[in-house]
């Protein structure tokens, strides 16, 4: 009887979790689009609503429509209409950054903007030498970009003309050595900047002792037309609590108000976009937990998934219509997610993501870390299957029940199913000639109009993946 009750409960939970359409999975009405205009994509969760994709690839992989050389960068491309935008660093160690617009059908350049930034190493952000980390955001006729050391540009997306610019470093210094990793986004007509790494006022400088430095968690809303600050939310960073390092917020609604959901200071928080007021928070980790939380919270109908690197993965059940109603931990699992950069992907009551640990600070060692592609039951958090054979870094996009997986020089097509890890295609994308660049496989594949755009250390490749 107890087993039967458990099965029925799990079934009810799974059905309730699947009650919304893919386009409504974040609890908000987002238009179904074939564009990929920002880091999270059209559905706000690394998922595309496109259908009619090829269920299996030939031995040599899908057709390559074009490939063009690109300079280093960890930034994903974005695609709007038939324009593709990609950001790069002119040299591995910096001095100049570039924003480029390409014809998404042919790969031909439409325009490019290059600006000087000076040497990265003078800013003490060694990890930024891999180049651009932030993914651009396109809104109406504008594109917004954030370089590795805080050069923020708003440009006319058709011409590349600079409409306004800011140097974020002159306002807030980043807390760590990874530079500015978060991606800008537009919600409720406002431009949002989430300094999840922690930051301090520029006048305070950089404290050499990063464990005791007085950094704050800072969230800002800007006028997207002028760049003027509308409001600023700030909260002292509680050392040694985890930070939202490089995290980009998720957008949903609380009590009918558009809100940004973030994970920082061992808490999930919802900030009202209208005025920056905190409307909800919930503890998801021990106060003494160390480390970072990079993946964005995954907001479902009545749950939020929080993936932390060293204090477990949690599914929180809540009532977003009544934020004052107490939330609770539905389940918490001590999964190894030290490799997690992207959200888990949700499909038909199951979660798909990577577990394992990127071991060691040495780039060669880190790139050789072995990871697992893992399927979790959303209702229980139990591991359904876990497939080894993946190396850092890893990235994944979900569409039409298919996973497009990046891992160490390879692109794989995998059926998103709890029945097992069924590989439907596998192709080598590039050769690695420098260990430093192995981690560039963290760059998310982008799907738009049946084309998959994959960034490698030296190229941008466009694959035809639709029938």
What is the Cα 55 distance to its own chain's centre?
25
pLDDT at 329: 94
Residue range 309-329: mean pLDDT, rounded:
88
pLDDT in tens, 236-265: 877 655 566 678 899 999 999 999 999 888
DSSP annotation string for 92-123: TTEEEEEEEEEETTT--EEEEEEEEEEEGGGG
Burial 129-141 (b: 16+ CB within 10 A, else e): bbbbbbbbbbbee
Report angle CA 283, 233, 125 to the nearest 5 degrees. Answer: 85
- pLDDT bracket for residue 72 (50, 70, 90): confident
Residue 411 contacts residue 391 (beta carbons within 8 Å): no
pLDDT in tens, 114-170: 999 877 656 656 554 567 889 999 999 999 999 988 899 999 999 999 999 999 888
pLDDT in tens, 355-405: 876 655 445 555 566 789 999 999 999 999 999 988 767 899 999 999 999
| Token pair belonging to 20 | 């919304």
| Residue 292: CA count within 13 A, CB half-sphere | 19
- pLDDT bracket for residue 297 (50, 70, 90): very high
Domain boundaries, the chain: 32-464
pLDDT at 199: 67
Residue 178 has pLDDT above 90, yes or no: no
Report the distance separating Cα 94 and Cα 128, nearest Å: 8
Report the distance separating Cα 272 and Cα 182, nearest Å: 19
Torsion angle, alpha carbons of 51, 52, 55, 59, to 10: -120
pLDDT at 430: 87
* Cβ within 8 Å of residue 258, ≥6 positions away: 28, 187, 188, 251, 252, 272, 273, 274
pLDDT at 405: 95
Higher pLDDT, 90 or 437: 90
Report angle CA 436, 94, 433 to the nearest 5 degrees. Answer: 25
pLDDT in tens, 186-207: 999 999 998 865 666 655 544 4
pLDDT at 241: 58
pLDDT at 176: 59
32-464, CATH topology level: Methanol Dehydrogenase; Chain A (2.140.10)
Beta-bridged to residue 253, according to DSSP, are 258
Average pLDDT of the chain, as a whole number: 82
Residue 182 has pLDDT above 60, yes or no: yes
Residue range 33-51: mean pLDDT, rounded:
92
Dihedral sign (CA 95, 101, 103, 109):
negative
Higher pLDDT, 104 or 27: 104
pLDDT at 18: 39
Residue 65 has pLDDT above 90, yes or no: yes
- pLDDT bracket for residue 437 (50, 70, 90): very low
Q: Between β-strands 151-156 and 142-146, what pairing exists: parallel, antiparallel or unpaired?
A: antiparallel
* Cβ within 8 Å of residue 454, ≥6 positions away: 406, 411, 429, 443, 445, 460, 461, 463
């Amino acid at each position: 009887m107890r087993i039967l009750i458990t099965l029925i409960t799990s079934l009810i939970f799974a059905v309730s979790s699947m009650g919304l359409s893919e386009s409504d999975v974040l609890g908000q009405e987002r238009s179904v689009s074939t564009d990929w205009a920002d880091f999270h994509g059209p559905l706000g969760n690394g998922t595309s609503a496109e259908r009619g994709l090829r269920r299996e690839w030939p031995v040599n992989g899908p057709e390559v429509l074009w490939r063009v050389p690109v300079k280093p960068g960890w930034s994903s491309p974005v695609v709007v209409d038939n324009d593709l935008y990609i950001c790069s660093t002119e040299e591995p160690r910096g001095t100049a950054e570039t924003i480029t617009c390409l014809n998404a059908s042919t790969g031909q350049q439409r325009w490019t903007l290059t600006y000087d930034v000076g040497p990265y190493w003078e800013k003490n952000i060694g990890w930024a030498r891999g180049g651009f980390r932030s993914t651009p955001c396109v809104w109406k006729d504008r594109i917004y970009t954030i370089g590795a050391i805080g050069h923020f540009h708003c440009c006319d997306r058709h011409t590349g003309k600079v409409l306004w610019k800011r140097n974020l470093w002159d306002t807030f210094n980043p807390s760590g050595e990874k530079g500015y990793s978060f991606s800008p986004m537009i919600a409720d007509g406002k431009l949002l900047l989430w300094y999840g790494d922690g930051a301090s006022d520029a006048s305070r400088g950089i404290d050499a002792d990063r464990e005791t430095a007085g950094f704050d968690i800072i969230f800002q809303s800007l006028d997207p037309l002028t760049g003027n600050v509308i409001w600023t939310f700030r909260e002292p960073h509680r050392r040694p609590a985890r930070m939202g390092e490089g995290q980009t917020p998720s957008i949903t609604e609380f009590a009918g108000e558009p809100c940004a959901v973030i994970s920082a200071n061992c808490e999930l928080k919802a900030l009202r976009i209208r005025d920056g007021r905190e409307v909800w928070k919930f503890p998801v980790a021990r106060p003494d937990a160390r480390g970072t939380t990079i993946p964005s919270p995954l907001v479902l109908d009545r749950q939020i998934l929080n993936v932390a690197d060293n204090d477990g993965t949690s599914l929180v059940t809540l009532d977003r219509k009544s934020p004052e109603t107490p939330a609770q931990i539905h389940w918490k699992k001590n999964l190894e997610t030290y490799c997690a950069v992207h959200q888990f992907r949700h499909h038909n009551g199951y979660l798909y993501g990577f577990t394992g640990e990127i071991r060691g600070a040495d780039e060669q060692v880190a790139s050789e870390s072995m990871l697992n592609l893992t399927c979790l039951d959303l209702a229980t958090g139990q591991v359904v299957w876990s497939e080894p054979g993946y190396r850092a870094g890893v990235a994944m996009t979900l569409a039409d029940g298919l996973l497009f997986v990046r891992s160490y020089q390879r692109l794989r097509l995998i059926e998103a199913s709890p029945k097992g890890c069924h590989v439907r295609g596998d192709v080598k994308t590039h050769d690695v000639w420098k260990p430093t660049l192995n981690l560039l496989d963290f760059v998310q594949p982008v799907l738009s109009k049946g084309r998959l755009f994959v960034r490698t250390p030296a190229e941008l490749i466009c694959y035809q993946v639709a029938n």
